[in-house]
Amino acid sequence: MTRTAVTRIALLALLVGLLPALGPAAPATAEVTCSTRWGSLAKADLTGSTGRVVGVRAGRHACFDRLVVDVAGELDGYVVRYVPSLVRDGSGIPVPLRGGAKLQVIATAPAVATDAWFLPNGELLDPAGYRTFRHLAWAGSFEGHSTFGLGVRARLPFRVFVLDGPGDRSRLVVDVAHRW
């Protein structure tokens, strides 16, 4: 036998001997564990901000639906809470929202809603494919606060946080769980 063949056989024997010690392979699809410890009470940080709201978007995740409010500049303040009804900033005119529960999302930054925010049907979000979101509405910007209404399936746990970046931008993130 050549030296290369002996080396290959020794390596193979070593690998075969070690494989049982490594244990069985993990399943290809692991079950996702979702935390619902966020609660459904109001969350707020009333620190002032120097940015302005420039857009809003949403995404789907295994455990929650996500709303992102994009801000040019610094965003430090927000209030997110369940409300019995949503009203337009400055006027108090009711804003209809579809869904079993209504989340009021306020960013402490001014905004001017642009056509780029809205879909051709006038909506801010197409709820198709979202497990929790049912409707997203613009409620206005008044005295440095911009308000969105988020209609959700039911009163579910949610979390709120601010992310810095990219660049000099900030993002207000609202995650609403799919279940308790």
pLDDT (tens digit per residue) in 58-72:
999 999 999 999 999
> Cβ atoms within 10 A of the Cβ of 30, count?
7
* Between 13 and 178, residue with greater pLDDT: 178
**Spatial CB neighbours of 8, under 8 Å, sequence gap ≥ 6:** none
Q: For residue range 20-53, list pLDDT tens digits in order.
A: 444 444 455 567 788 879 999 999 998 878 899 9
Q: Report the CATH number of the 43-177 domain.
A: 2.60.40.3500
Segment 126-147 shows an average pLDDT of 95
Residue 86 has pLDDT above 50, yes or no: yes
Q: Which two tokens stand for residue 177?
A: 């769980």
**pTM for this model (two decimals):** 0.81
Of the two residues 174 and 9, the one the predictor is more confident about is 174
| E strand map for 49-178 | 52-60, 64-72, 78-83, 86-87, 94-95, 101-107, 133-142, 145-152, 158-164, 169-177
Specify whether the CB–CB gap between 41 and 155 falls below 8 A. no
What mean pLDDT, rounded, does the chain reach? 86
In this structure, the number of other CB atoms found within 10 A of the CB of residue 102 comes to 23
